[in-house]
Structure formats: C-alpha cells, structure tokens
Amino acid sequence: MDSYLILAFAIAAALLVLWWFGRRRALPVDTQNAVDRLDTLLGWPPEATRVLRTSERVAYSTLRLALPGYMVLAQVPIARFINVPKRNSYAEWMRRVGSQCVDFVVCDVTSQVVAVVEVRPAEAQMSERLRRRLERVSRTLKSVGIPLHIWNEDVLPSVEAVRASLTPKAPAIPPGLAAQASAAALADPRNPFADTDPDPSDALEVIEMTSRDLAEPSASTWFDELDSAPLPLTPHTPMPPR
C-alpha cells in the first residue's frame, strides 16, 4: 500500500512540475501578445524634443566654421553609410552596432563620409555598457578606414584647432569630379554681356549633375529585410542543348 502512495505522490509531483514549466514557457508569448495589442500612440505618447544637446550644437557650429565646403550631418545611423554582407543575420548586426548613430559625419559634396566626430562625456562619467557600445562603434569605423575623432563634451576644441587637426585628406570636391565639372562648364561658356561674377549655385549644379554617374548608396533598411539568415546556394541547372 505504501508503494502505491509513493508512486501516486511521485506522479502528482511530476505533473505539477510539468504544469509549472509549461506555464513559464507560455508566459512570454502572452506578454508579447499584450504588447502587440498596445496602440502606438496610446502606449507610447510621443513628445517632440531637440535633436542635439547643447554641447552637440556647439560642436556642429564649430565643424561648419572650420570645414567650409564640406557637408556636416548630425546623428547618422551607421547602417546608413556602412554596408555589410548578408551571410549572417542582418538583424543581429543591426542589434549589435547597425542601429547606433554617430554624432557627426563629415562628407564631401557627393555625401561620401570622410570623417566621423563623436562628442562623448569624460571617461570617468561613462558607464561600462556605454563604453562597450562606443568601442564597437570605434572598431567598426576603423575596419572601413573612416577616421574617428573623439571630443570631450566639457572641453570642445576651437575652430582653429579643428581646422588644423581634422581637415580631411580627401578634398570636399573629388579631383575626378572637379575635372568633369570644369569640362562641363567650359562646354557651356557664359554670356560675355552677363555679370562676370560667377554664381556659386551654378558650380554646385554642375557638380551635382556630374556626380549622378557615381554609385548611389543602398536604401535604408531599418524596418525591412531584417530576416537575412544564410541562404542555401541555388543548384546550377545546365542549359538544354540547342
């Protein structure tokens, strides 16, 4: 009789354990369904805010004054100006570093990035998590040969110091593109009776027209093509003889 009681208790305990693990396994699914049912605006009430902090606005003005002719863009996602192969999961790369934004990118007239500027707090003020994230960004930029300049937000450099230390080696107008623009301008001489002062907008228009022959960047993939697991190779099918 005692053996039957022990067996019954063992079966009841096993059933209880199975029920408990099944409940824990089903809990995240229910939680995710509850999150999916939330309305975007009601669940996360939006509020307009500034794009740049005070130190970043000062840094942006310094870059514009120190690097005339170059294009300065703020808060640019890394996935916007760096391409990676799709052999591994693109969603995982986006989670690690692709969705991160750099503070400022310095570009030539064709929007090719020639330098990156990060305005960071002092080393003692950064958390370990922030330090690891910035390290991943630094290694990514180094791997593609984009110079990274790190500024302390409490001690920003002057315009003269930026011009002396950060002026990119690549000119604002690529040499080949400048030669094409000059040739296009010579092919369409100005009216001798017109104003002899050149219009800067005319030169920019010619440069923009000649830059259309360059390769266009890939479209932003923030919200699409994230499930990019390795795909099997398609077997080659020989052509039938004619």
CATH of the domain at 80: 3.40.1350.10
Contact 172, 108 (CB under 8 A): yes
* Residue 226: inside a domain: no
Query: What is the model's pTM?
Result: 0.64
66 within 8 A of 166, measured Cβ to Cβ: yes
Q: What is the dihedral of CA 74, 148, 68, 175, to 10 degrees?
A: -120
Per-residue confidence (pLDDT) for residue 144, from 0 to 100: 92
Task: Give the per-residue pLDDT at 84.
Answer: 87
Task: Tell me the one-letter amino acid at 22.
Answer: G
Domain assignment present for residue 235? The answer is no
Identify the pLDDT of residue 190.
53
Mean pLDDT of the chain: 76
- Is the separation of the CB atoms in 61 and 157 below 8 Å? no
pLDDT value of position 200: 47
Q: Which residues of the chain have pLDDT under 50?
A: 27, 192-194, 200-201, 221-236
Q: Across the chain, which distance is largest between two alpha carbons, in Å?
A: 119
Flag whether 75 is in a domain.
Answer: yes
Residue 89 included in any domain: yes
DSSP state, residue 169: S
What is residue 156's predicted lDDT score, i.e. its pLDDT? 95
User: Which residue range(s) make up the domain with 66?
Assistant: 54-166
Residue 18 lies in a domain: no
The sheet carrying 71-77 orders its strands as 71-77, 101-107, 113-120, 148-152
Instruction: Check residue 22 and give its pLDDT.
Output: 65
Euclidean distance between CA atoms 54 and 73, whole angstroms = 16
> 105: helix, coil or strand?
strand
Q: How many domains does the chain have?
A: 1
pLDDT for the residue numbered 164: 93
